[in-house]
Structure 1
Amino acid sequence: MSISNKSIPKAEAVLHRMMAKDAFSKLLGLQVDEVGEGYCRLHFKVREDMLNGFGILHGGVTYSAADSAFAFACNSHGRLSVALSTNMDYLEAGKLGDTLTVEAKEESLKNKVGVYQIRITNQEDVLVALFKGTSYRTSKEI
């Protein structure tokens, strides 16, 4: 998908470009609700094929959803950005049928480094996990 319409905000154009080739986010069923400069909110439904051997949401799925929201938020300014470091705290178990909301917010943006906090909550607004990502901002325009 190519976005050439100048009336589309930069963050949305970048999101469309990224999602056109992001097979993994599509596999997870991630649905982006809102994107803006330094911000992304998305959601997904926990399916049976996302559960681990104990019948709870696999941590890798939670991490991947947070990582996608982080990527959409840190690239939203139109400069190619990549993860420099990330960490995640798991606070509650996701369960089959849960709808999880993943919200990424920019906390700091400098010339070469951005810092983002990502909150994952369930449909009852219970905090499931916290993710922190630090991005390296290249000089390449998207």
Structure 2
Amino acid sequence: MSAVGTDTRRARAQRLLAGDPSTREPGVELVDATEEELVLRLPVGEQDANGVGVCHGGVIYHLGDSCAGIAANCSGTGSWVTTTATVTYVAPGRPGDVLTARSRVRWDGGRSRLVDTEITGPRGTVALMQSQMLRLRTAEGEGQ
């Protein structure tokens, strides 16, 4: 993709993140937005720990879902939302870690998309996620 296309994709990702306080306020940052993938990161704080001292699964899910949603909304046209998501947690994140989520649109069926996301930390993969996204219906009746 040309530099202009990548810049446009990055600018759209930045606008989406700026308009989403539930993702922005915990400290999620945009790392990259290319034709192939979208990358976000989140420093894990003490407030993100569960009762056994590791990063709460909901924090990991939120990072992955945000990354998948922004990736879907930066690919093509329309507004996309998650309808289902399957997460497999393979290792814990810990306070002090920086988690990185990488999302790729794997399939685009016009009205739905599948997005694969991997969340990693300093010791490797933390979680794998697959999300199904649905294009919202517009006022003109396009989409769902």
TM-score bin, normalised by smaller chain: 0.7 to 0.9
CA distance change for structure 1 residues 114 and 37 in 2, over 3 Å: closer, same or farther? farther
Q: Percent identity?
A: 26
Q: 1 CA distance for matches of 2:128 and 2:11?
A: 27
Runs (4+) off by over 2 Å: 6-14, 36-39, 138-141
Find the counterpart in structure 2 of residue 87 from structure 1. Answer: 86
Amino acid at match of 1:33: V
Q: Gaps spanning 5+ residues in structure 1: where?
A: 1-5
Q: 2 CA distance for matches of 1:53 and 1:35?
A: 34
Alignment of 1:33-48 (within 5 A): 33-37=31-35, 39-48=37-46
Match of 1:66 among 61, 64, 67: 64
TM-aligned CA deviation for residue 35 of structure 1: 1.2
Match of 2:73 among 70, 75, 92: 75
Find the counterpart in structure 2 of residue 111 from structure 1. Answer: 110
- The one-character-per-residue Cα deviations of 1:67-112 (angstroms, maximum 9, x if unpaired) are 1001110000231011121111111111111111100011111211
Query: By percentage of residues, which structure has more strand?
Result: 1
CA distance change for structure 1 residues 78 and 94 in 2, over 3 Å: closer, same or farther? same
Moved more, 60-69 or 30-39: 30-39
TM-score (norm 1): 0.85
Does the 8 Å CA contact 1:103/1:119 hold for their aligned counterparts?
yes
Find the counterpart in structure 2 of residue 3 from structure 1. Answer: none
Query: RMSD of aligned C-alpha atoms?
Result: 2.1
Alignment of 1:13-28 (within 5 A): 13-28=11-26
TM-aligned CA deviation for residue 123 of structure 1: 2.0
Q: Gaps spanning 5+ residues in structure 2: where?
A: none
TM-aligned CA deviation for residue 129 of structure 1: 0.4
TM-score (norm 2): 0.84
Does the 8 Å CA contact 1:14/1:78 hold for their aligned counterparts?
no
TM-aligned CA deviation for residue 32 of structure 1: 0.9
